[in-house]
Structure 1
Amino acid sequence: MRTLFNTTEPLAGKRILLGVCGSIAAYKSPEIVRELTRLGAEVRVVMTRAAGQFVTPITLQALSGQPVRQDLFAAEEEAAMDHIRLARWPDAVVVAPVSANSLARFALGLGDDLLSTLLLVTHAPIFLAPAMNASMWAHPATQDHARRLREYGAQFLGPEAGALACGEEGTGRMLEPEQIVAQLRLALAPKTLTGKQVLITAGPTWESLDPARGLTNRASGKQGFALAQACAEAGAQVHLISGPSHETTSPGVLRENVTSAQEMLEACLRALETPTDLFIANAAVADHRPALQSTQKLPKSAIAEHLTLTLNPDIVSLVHQHSQRPRVIVAFAAETRDHLESARSKAARKGADIMVINDISRSDSGMGAESNACSILEGARQTEIPICSKIDLARHLIHYIAQNHFAAEVTDPHETLANPHP
């Protein structure tokens, strides 16, 4: 038996250079620094002169724990780390916010201040998060600048539509800090499943008795959504089929919502029309549904004390029997006793290659909790993932699957991004 446990956060230990330009959205920049440092990244901040009108250097210095750079020719700053070494330092450069003026200067390749000079020199991938009035963003000149920067290799994070600081509505709003951090994580994580097609089910199903009542379970979808995030981080094309869940879909994940077990099965079978490398059946599919289902709300007196139930389809078994069976099938089992023996039997019966067992008798993990633990059964091999956050468990599990089933096929596990300037 083997135990997996180490740090899985893709941003831990990464060096991030944050550029801040003159926009009212600069008030969000400290939150980006705070979240990156919380995740274990090392952050250095470079501000334009205009940015100092919206957020103070002392705020960003306090959060990053590093001096904030503003001047290209400041003798003290250059003595501490000259701008060429600073440009070579980061694993990624993020400019958030990017004003319309700065976007134009970056596109023209101007090097008249520290931040624009760094973008000309760095070899690190560059991410730009614009923030401006909707008319500024829509202007042909701004769109031409954005197109040119994309051609150079820059990745744009937004902007998105919404309420703007000027009181108008439209596209020009900077992404929220958590969205920017999520996009960075997606870009910088090791790519162990590059090009693989992954199908995942998540959440509970709802088996309707009438429009107000039905059968379901306590599954929240947290673990399935975490698995989708981990697969997207690893470079896979991810199709997530989810029962009713309030979880947020991560960047890089295509989500399809369903309600019942039958709808989930039909969605899975449609998805298998595209050759699938990996199927992860994490959804807590209801075993039964009411035999009679009403389209109108039933009065209490019309509901029998003993409901007649019908067995739902076994999605994993039917996916295993499909003519385009996925190369690897991973099934989950929630057990409270004799869980290992029960899971081995279930794996053989369903045709799963890997069985992941959750002991839901624990009060600190499993359905609805923020943490989880599991046993991975594959043939005679048993691997344990001790209790950790659900995203950590997801990353451990995807690493296990990638190493044991796809490692020989991934030729570029870290997939670098081009320098946005030639």
Structure 2
Amino acid sequence: MTRPALVSQGRSRPTDRGAGIPPQTPDTIPVATAPAVRRADVDAGRWPDVARPPSAAPARTAIARHFVGRALDRLALTGPATGARPSAAGPRLTLHDPDAFHRRIGRHGLIGFGESYMAGEWDSDDLAGVLTALACRVDDLVPAPLRRLRGLWVSARPTADRNTRGGARENIHRHYDLSNDLFSAFLDPTLTYSSAVFTAFPARFESLAAAQHRKIDRLLDLADVGAGTRLLEIGTGWGELALRAAARGARVTTLTLSAEQAALARERIAAAGLTDRVDVQLRDYRDIEGRHDAVISVEMIEAVGAEYWPAYFTALRSALAPGGRIALQAITMGHQQMLHTAATHTFISKYVFPGGLIPSREAVAEHSAAAGLRTAADRGYGEHYAETLRLWRERFTTARTTVGGLGFDPVFQRMWEFYLAYSEAGFRSRYLDVRQLLLTEGTHR
């Protein structure tokens, strides 16, 4: 999952870089409620668009009130007054400040919807459930004529978020360098920040760490990594795939733009006694050197940006020795949805991953073929990502005291919980998928 514009401002003081493995915790955890936030208490310096609802726009607000209210009623999501007992089972959305809620949506669409949650203007007893219900009907909730006018309330992506070499470093820094301790608070002991592969759902009888190792092993097998393999990894994370490949006898060069990740990955590699087999480099994928028997890149393409997908696949192809194999794990969405998202500033691009875009399968096929690669295998695991995100969200909410102690305020915590639940809903509704692909030399058949 792969950076925030305001996220880094949600921390009140610097934190020390974590020195290793997070504590063992069970994989099925009671979910705590989101921390209460009063808009009057939101730090306007850190969260300017959360602290202040947009100025009144009566027509837009009225339209939002009509269509959003109708959608919530149709999906039976309308919540009771605070403290009252719901009249029916299922996820509920409770409005604390309906006027601000509708003003935000009327002015900023889904960004306003998320910012309203961050401001504490609405809550839910089942956030992922509410977002899943909405995601399943996303194309039916707004009439087609009004959808064609979406340009009136959505804004374009900031040009400052482009993934030039300097921009990519800054975008990576704004997400992955938040704090190693923050990520340790909700990831499993492998510190793997991408979809696991489970044997069954829900994951009650295996650890998340075991499911992450299964995912990594499938990618290593897909790329035919073994003793003596020269492996290039694009996107180090915190080093687990490199560690597992080196344990097979491979010689690994792994690239990242995150200084925090690189430092902790090197510590973990040294602790495992594998420094002689793994070289962690702070390097852009566009500056790859040498040829490799195998290339693996896990959920990296989403951070590249559509403008640079040709350069990304060209770099993959150029790094491959004759007869080599490329294993990718990539989140995907439908092609039309991707085209709409590419032109839109979204909640995720504003607060979580500036500069990023999830590709469609068609976009992956087109750009990989243009670089001289063919798809030899392609397998989806969307339901596995939904389960992975559920476990991360449960761990995060349970670790709220720890996260607060790191200096991340309640607005940040609500933002992060919304991000995890929003992503989970995308996979549960099948709006998103995650796929493992094998690319080899040649053209598509």
Is TM more than 0.5 here?
A: no
| TM-score, normalisation: structure 1 | 0.29
Instruction: Name the structure with the higher strand share.
Output: 1
Highest CA radius of gyration, 1 or 2? Answer: 1
| TM-score, normalisation: structure 2 | 0.27
Instruction: Name the structure with the higher helix share.
Output: 2
Higher RCO (CA-CA < 8 Å; seq separation 6+): 2
